[in-house]
Every structure is written in C-alpha cells, then in structure tokens.
Structure 1
Amino acid sequence: MNIAVIFAPYDSGHYKKRLALGAVALSEYLEKRLLSVGHSVSKKEIVIDTAFPREVTTSFDVIRAVSTAVSKAESQGAFPIVFSGNCNASAVGTLSGLKEKPGVIWFDCHGDFNTPETTTGGFLDGMAISIVTGDCWGALAASVPGFVPTAENCVVQVGSRDILSLKHISEPTRQQAR
C-alpha cells in the first residue's frame, strides 16, 4: 500500500515544542514500521516559515498546509496518515483535505467542542470539533482548502470526560449524545 505520513509538529503554533514532540516520535516509528512490512511510504513534514509564531494565525497556517498535503496524497493514490501536536491540525486539516467527507469518531478525553464564547481558558485546541462542525472561527475555517462543516449528528465522541460546555450544541444533537 502507498502511504503518505504527514506530520505537523506544532503545539499551539509552536514548532517542535511540548506536545508536538509526540508527533515527531510517532511519525518516525510508524515510518520505520510501515517500511519493514513492505509498504511504500512517503513523508511530508509541515513547516511554516514564521519568525514569530502566534497561536491562532500559525495554527490555521498549519491546518491549511495539512489540508493541502492530505489532498495531494489522496490525489496521488496514497493513504494519508496525519500526526500533529494538536487536535486542530489533525481534525480540521485532515477532514478538509479528504475528497469524500466522512463522519467523525473522536477518541479524546476532552470534548474539544468549545468556542471562543464558551471557553474560559481561550485554548484554541479545545475548539477542534466546534471548528469542524462550523460552530466557530468560520472565516478562518473557510480559508482552509476543501473545508466543509461536518454536521453535529455526524460526530461521535468516545471516552470524553472533560467537557466544559455543550451550550452551543443544538438540542437534538445533545439528546442523541445522551
């Protein structure tokens, strides 16, 4: 199988810092493992040229680059696997880059359904699913190649225990979640 390993080693806009180091380690291990079992592997590292990383701006630059890399890999017949240091690049970037828009199964202890209006901490990474569903950061999400909001009822969360706010989610979707 032709596999494209795409890694975006960013955490809150910072390159190869903190959580982003996990993406580096996992992508290196996976590449070796896939090659050892006979797969063809290409590797793409996302690097954003900026002297002053900013959480929102740099994060959306990374998301756009991931979307473009996923789209390119898919158009070349490769199966894209994305590693990143945060949820936004993985979720928003990957889903936007895919030709066919799938539903989402979200394995995370955090709901990541916050918005700028519902969060008290302002952590952009806690808004990944809200961005995916089009509930926040609409203008920036629209700047991502291939972005189409995913309907809330096409998102399944598994293992979430730290959910800060679901106030902005529609009542039918909240009922389905129960």
Structure 2
Amino acid sequence: MSRTVHIIGAPVDYGANRRGVDMGPSAIRYSGLADELAAAGVTAIDTGDLLVPRAEERDPEREEPPEGKAKFLRETADVCSRLADEVAASIENDAFPLVLGGDHSIAMGTLGGAARDADVGAVWFDAHGDFNTPGTSPSGNVHGMPLAGALGIDDFADTEWANVPRLREENVVIVGLRSIDDQEREAIRDSEVTVYTMSDIDERGITPVVEDALDVATHGVDGIHVSLDLDWLDPNEAPGVGTPVRGGVTYREAHSALETVAERDEREDVLRSLEVVEVNPILDEHNETAELATELAASALGKRIL
C-alpha cells in the first residue's frame, strides 16, 4: 500500500531509569531508516524532533519520588501534549505518523493524537505491562505507566493529556509480556485488556498470537496503534535497551509479528500509527538495536523479501 510517512522524533528520557534513551531517534535514523522505508515502498518525510529540554535544564537530581508520585510528570505531560498535536496533524494531512522514541512514556502522546478523531485499538509489543500509576509504581519512572495513563486508570483518570477516552480496554492487547509488578498484575486482571505472554507465544507460535491480537484490537474501531518497545525482544537480539528481560522474542519472531501487522493492514487498512521506543545507543552494541528498530518499522509498513 503506497503511503506517505511522517517521521516524528520524540527524544524523551523523562520517563526512563537510565540516561541515553533520548538519543534513540538519532540512532534509528543513523541506522538507515530512510533506506528501509524506501525499500518498504513508502514516501518518508522527516519532520524532525520535538523540542525537549535537556535533563540539566529541568532537574539535576533523579531522586526517588515520594510515595504516590511520578518523576517529571509535568514535563512528560508537556511533551505528550505537543506530540499528540503532531500525530493528529499528520493524520489530518493524510500521512502516517511513525514516532521514534525516546522512552515509552511518549505513547500517551502518540495515542492521544491517533485517537483525536477516531476510535482506536492498540497492540502493545512489550516485555512489560506498563500498567503502573503514580500511586503504584515502585520506581516513579513514567515509562512503566503509559498504558495505564492512556486508559485513564486511577491517578490518570482526570489527566486530559494522558487519558485517551476513545481507547477502550477491550481493544488493547499486550503481546509478549514477561515482567510485571504485583500491583500491575492485579490491575490488568481486573481490566478488560487482553494479554498474551511469552508462554502463549512459545505454545502457539508468534503468527497465531498476533493474528488473535489484531482481531481483538481492530474489533469495532476505526484503526489501531502499534507500540513497539525494543525490550520486547530478547536481550541477545536487542541489547541496547534500558530494562532488558531475558526470554524475549527472537529476531525472526519479531519480523514475523510486524509482517503480520502489515498483511492485516494491506487487507483491511487498519494501521493508524506506529511508534518504536526504548532504543538506548549508550547501552547498544555496534548500533544493532537501532538497526533492528529500522528493520522492524519497515516490516510493519510492508517491506517483504518477495
């Protein structure tokens, strides 16, 4: 499917527990994103990066927050609000927004823009649940909260910048979960979010799991958002992430998953936005995680061997 893609960089590390993820957009571009997208048959327009103040300009200390707090929530709110505007503007201009993170807190902005004038579902490729809130997070790191934020859970219920009313729990699917906090587990069990763990992928295979996830996410909505956290992959495949968890998907499984997304999109025109997050070049080895990010984005947008 021929389309115009707007590349939007969101060099954010407000939500992360380790420095360096703000350089993710640059690393992904440097790793050949333009060439990969061209090979996928899309016209890519790089709109540049959002302006994000450096850490030294906002707070020199990253101390543990008081109970019930989140680090840099005000700064995260500002960036997500501006990112939502950028994503919405791309869609209004008949372009497809491809957002490059930065840490996963930016997902609240991407989703907010994608759902501004449409009901959306979401497929969340991630090792983690991202279902903490300021009141439950053990660390206060907002990159562990974006799904709860977008769904308006607890502390996020009245936050206009985070809560996405046109995203419903029954259309949200987490694929590849393998690391979760106790309170997150309880909250997800109490929700209508669908979860496929790594055990499900092991037992059933990646393609059937992703097909089922797409069935859930696309049911009764105008389109879907796909959020790809590179820590979804096994650290042997993607070492350059801040919160690696052993036992993730393989290189080939990841490509198969994103190719399945593209195939569904070709048949039904369901893909509304895509983000690739948590690439940290400081932790990477020869930029291989950033290179993998470019390949997977291209697979999601239709690149094939034949």
2:188 equivalent to 1:166: no
**Residue in structure 2 matched with residue 19 of structure 1 by the alignment:** 21
Give runs of aligned pairs for residues 89-104 of structure 1, distance below 5 A: 89=106, 91-98=107-114, 99-104=117-122
Cα distance, 1:38 vs structure 2: 6.2
Instruction: State the one-letter code of the partner of 1:92.
Output: M
Q: Is the 8 A contact 1:3 1:80 kept in 2?
A: yes
TM-score by length of 2: 0.50
Instruction: State the one-letter code of the partner of 1:52.
Output: R
Instruction: State the one-letter code of the partner of 2:96.
Output: F
**Residue in structure 2 matched with residue 116 of structure 1 by the alignment:** 134
Structure 1: 5+ residue stretches without partners: none
- Given the alignment, which residue of 63, 67, 75 partners 2:84? 67
- The 3 A distance-change label for structure 1 pair 171 and 138 is closer
Report which stretch shifted further, 25-34 or 73-82: 25-34
Q: For residues 172 and 52 of structure 1, what CA distance do their matches in structure 2 show? A: 35
Q: For residues 169 and 115 of structure 1, what CA distance do their matches in structure 2 show? A: 12
**Residue in structure 1 matched with residue 223 of structure 2 by the alignment:** none
Q: Is the 8 A contact 2:7 2:44 kept in 1?
A: no
**Residue in structure 2 matched with residue 132 of structure 1 by the alignment:** 150
Q: For residues 35 and 195 of structure 2, what CA distance do their matches in structure 1 show? A: 39
Q: Percent identity?
A: 27
Cα distance, 1:108 vs structure 2: 0.7
- The 3 A distance-change label for structure 1 pair 172 and 121 is closer
Q: Deviating runs (4+, > 6 A) in structure 1?
A: none
- The 3 A distance-change label for structure 1 pair 43 and 124 is same
Q: For residues 24 and 137 of structure 1, what CA distance do their matches in structure 2 show? A: 31
Q: Is the 8 A contact 2:15 2:141 kept in 1?
A: no
TM-score by length of 1: 0.82
**Residue in structure 2 matched with residue 43 of structure 1 by the alignment:** 47
- The 3 A distance-change label for structure 1 pair 172 and 85 is closer
**Residue in structure 2 matched with residue 30 of structure 1 by the alignment:** 33
Q: For residues 58 and 45 of structure 1, what CA distance do their matches in structure 2 show? A: 16
Report which stretch shifted further, 130-139 or 42-51: 42-51
Q: For residues 124 and 57 of structure 1, what CA distance do their matches in structure 2 show? A: 11
The structure with more radius of gyration:
2
